[in-house]
Amino acid sequence: MNSMHLLALLPLLICCAAGLGLLMLEVFVKENPTLFSGLSLGAIAVAAAATLANWTANKAGFSIPLFGGAITVDAYSQFFTMLLLGSAGLTIIMGWKYMEREKMGHGEVYSLLMFALTGMLTLAMGTNLITLFVGVEVMSIAIYVLVGARRQSLKGNEAALKYFFLGAFSSGILLYGIALTYGMVGSVQLDAIKAFASHPDPAKLPLALVGLAMLLIGMGFKVAAAPFHAWTPDVYEGAPTPITGFMATAVKTASFAFFLRVLGVGFLPIKPMWVDVVAGLSVLTMFTGNLLAFVQTNIKRMLAYSSVAHTGYLMMGLVALSTAGGPGAQAILYYLVAYSLTNLGAFACITFLSKQNEKLVNIDDFAGVAKQYPGIALILGICFASLIGIPPTAGFFGKYALFTSVISGGYAWLAVVGIVNSILSVYYYLRPVVVMYMDEPKNDWKDAVGVAPARIAGWVCAVMLLWAGIGSVSLLDIVPGAQPILSWAQTSVASLF
């Protein structure tokens, strides 16, 4: 392994080493959230610097296969690496004082977060089904424990158990799908699967499709696609709010990195055999998430069903994939950036407003927030506007990119369904905004000031949402600079196809 290979692998090694180091430090420092948060942020910053150094050291379209092709460091994996590191960093800032308030400032919480990040980076880099499965399990096992990190919370313990049992079941289905695929193809390398799919053996193709169906079920659970979404509301509600934000963004981002590689590389040549299934799942997921979000009174449960709906939007990009990548893949990457910033900002505000033991997480509890904390109300308003898809937020341009990609791919009806669902979502996204601005205050938020770093994370997300959105207006030649995130996504996708 030469120095270039080591630099390419450095972010993964740093996150893994940080997880081990924080776990060992716990032996000597029992509870010091400031120290653990600082060390975790430092490790993430170094990993991000290494990623940027590797990006600048290589030409566009670079690809560095490692360990016999088990993982590949390329522009695609670097895009997801930066997005995942950013999500983890904002999560730590969001939870800086929250962990202390909730008596969660133990070293293992931060260690598990770094291990989860290690699994996510493996998913972004994996080009082998076994490597991808290992990444899924490293990520998932750490998240199962983090969901129950509030040890005295019955809801948290229940959520962790539900997530663990359903996750174990889905992992079994995923592994069986990998086994069937290997049995028919004779390899777990995505390039080999692509070669098989390009010239399939008629005798082996039916069982290979069964393997693909099981892979879709396993991946559908990880991204919370209907009907594999049943775990989502209980887990989102029971988990500590910063961890919920991390799950809603980083876990979904890493899972879609896996999803896109498997369908966009391995099984793309037989797209006509699976595209209608994915389109149907997309429609079912959008309607399920949006309609069930209507009746929620808890804002975390509402955002859980919102997450399900946005999985449906993202799956539209998979429908629009083509042999050259197409605009669908680029739209998925851009949308994941917008979605991550939006949800991290929203959960940062919820973290700030929730009192100890998360007593104030119902929508009605936010009455009059705009009068006491106008900045928090503004951040939440921007985030919900982005989730709806109102310009000039990044969420609008993300949906625009997804809808135009499926139209250009010949699925205009799916874009119409997406637009209808976006209109449906307006009601439940605007409800908290109306409560914050129109209702009289009925709670005292003074003790919320103790989690002030969460407000910083919220402002960062809100500003980035507007910057990413306004930067995309250069599509209309209004703002110079040619959409930095869209251009980055396009460059990243080019290395995948």
> 278-306, pLDDT tens digit by residue?
999 999 999 999 999 998 888 989 999 99
Containing 370, the helix (H) or strand (E) segment is helix 369-372
What is the percentage of the chain residues whose pLDDT exceeds 90? Answer: 34
Confidence check: pLDDT of 448 > 60? no
Name the token pair of 356: 């100890």
Residue (of 28, 251, 16, 215) closest to 120 by Cα position: 251
CB under 8 Å to 379, separation ≥6 — which residues? 345, 348, 349, 455, 458, 459, 461, 462
Across the range 1-25, mean pLDDT stands at: 85
pTM, whole model, 2 decimals?
0.92
Question: What region, left, alpha or beta, does residue 103 occupy, with left being phi > 0 and alpha being psi -120 to 50 degrees?
Answer: left
Note the pLDDT tens digit of each residue in 398-408.
898 899 989 98
Quickly state the pLDDT bin for 174 (edges 50, 70, 90). Answer: very high
> How much is the pLDDT for 468?
67
CA distances 228 to 110, 167, 320, Å, are: 29, 10, 22
Q: How confident is the model at residue 134 (pLDDT cuts 50, 70, 90)?
A: very high
In this prediction, residue 312 has a pLDDT band, given cuts at 50, 70 and 90, of: very high
pLDDT score for 473: 53
The pLDDT of residue 471:
57
Residue 69 pLDDT: 80
pLDDT at 495: 76
d(Cα 125, Cα 120) in Å, to the nearest integer?
Answer: 9
- pLDDT-derived band at 447, boundaries 50, 70, 90: low
Alpha carbons 463 and 467: distance in angstroms, whole number? 6
- Using 50, 70 and 90 to split pLDDT, how confident is the model at 451? low
CA distances, 375 to each of 92, 352, 378, 431 (Å): 21, 11, 5, 18
Name the least confident of 95-99, 120-124, 340-344, 473-477.
473-477
**pLDDT confidence of residue 250:** 92
3-state secondary structure of 324: coil
Provide CB contacts within 8 A for 419, sequence distance 6+.
403
The model's confidence at residue 365, banded by pLDDT at 50, 70 and 90, is confident
Q: Predicted confidence band at 311 (pLDDT cuts at 50, 70, 90)?
A: very high
Q: Please report how the helices 107-125 and 33-57 are oriented relative to each other, as an axis angle in degrees rounded to 10.
A: 20
| pLDDT for 213 | 92
Between helix 326-353 and helix 299-319 the angle, nearest 10°, is 170
Residue 478: what pLDDT? 41
The H or E element that residue 171 is part of is helix 154-185
| pLDDT at site 454 | 67
CA-CA-CA-CA torsion for 322, 327, 328, 334, nearest 10 degrees? 150
19-35 pLDDT, tens digit per residue, is 999 988 887 877 777 88
One-letter amino acid of 181: T
Does the pLDDT of residue 267 top 80, yes or no? yes
Cα torsion 22, 27, 33, 36 to 10°: value is: -20
Please give the pLDDT value at position 482. Answer: 41
Q: How confident is the model at residue 416 (pLDDT cuts 50, 70, 90)?
A: very high
pLDDT band at 88 (very low <50, low <70, confident <90, very high): very high
Flag whether pLDDT at 361 surpasses 50: yes
| Average pLDDT along the chain | 85
The yes-or-no verdict on residue 5 having pLDDT over 50 is yes
Q: Where do the structural domains in the chain lie, given as residue ranges? A: 3-494
pLDDT one-digit tens code per residue, 31-80? 777 888 889 999 999 999 998 888 877 766 677 888 888 888 888 889 99
Backbone angles phi, psi at 482, to 5 degrees: 55, 60
